[in-house]
Amino acid sequence: MIKSWQKDLRDAANPNKIAVFMSFFKTGKGEYGEGDKFIGLSVPENRKITKKYIDADFKIIDEMLHHEIHEFRLSAFIALVEKFKKCKEVDSQKEIVDFYVSHGTCANNWDLVDLSAPYILGRYMVKNPMPQLLDKMSIDTNLWVQRIAIVSTLMLIRNNMFNDTLRLAQRYLSHPHPLIHKATGWMLREIGKRNETILLDFLNTHAPKMPRTALRYAIERLSSEQKQMYMQRK
């Protein structure tokens, strides 16, 4: 199965897009995606092909997740998302979640995280809270595992469950990496869509200490006057 899976992905790829993808996902020396390799396959095309392989077993998915080709890893994560979506039994869902978490370092770019974390770990946590796991992931030495922790809370936010996000956002106030700043600000903005008072309470306490990027993302939907006020506190 794995050979046909990879062949289908390669056959649908457009080599003319490789250079664009490499630039967009920062694969240059010293950048966060350094050394990543692409075949030039769009996400919609990837999703279309992956639907044929969502019944692949964990051994095959593991191989795909450890492949050097970015789109192969993305396809494997999409397959896990679809597996989880189909799964109704809690024990089987937990098996998928455990597999996903154990392969968190394979999600080594922001798109791999953002297209998987909310829809596997996040969906599971709506009914099965895992604050200790999130805390552990948030202090992991791997940047992508740290991003999984905060981005996975998107599904909690959509269910008006904000505590985990707010706790991690506070912890990430001193985080050095812009990708964590962007993710944190994004999640805070999502909270603001549902409860602006909670967002403003957080900003009133923490805005002066927030990384500028995180703050800009968090206040994106506020009024011009509010944006100006919070940015002046920096």
C-beta separation of 109 from 33 below 8 A:
yes
CA–CA separation, 49 and 78 (whole Å): 10
What's residue 160's pLDDT? 98
> What counts of helices (H) and strands (E) characterise the chain?
16, 0
Residue 70 to residues 36, 62, 66, 77, 86, Cα–Cα distance (Å) = 7, 14, 10, 11, 25
What's residue 15's pLDDT? 97
Q: In the chain, where are the structural domains located?
A: 1-86
pTM of the entire structure? 0.96
What's residue 233's pLDDT? 82
Mean pLDDT by groups of 10 residues along the chain of 234 residues: 97 98 96 97 98 97 98 98 96 97 98 98 98 98 98 98 98 97 98 98 97 97 96 84
CA–CA separation, 116 and 123 (whole Å): 10
Locate 36 and state its tokens.
């990543």
Q: Does domain 1-86 have CATH number 3.50.50.60?
A: no
CA–CA separation, 161 and 73 (whole Å): 30
Q: Which of 185, 177, 179, 183 is nearest to 210 (CA)?
A: 185
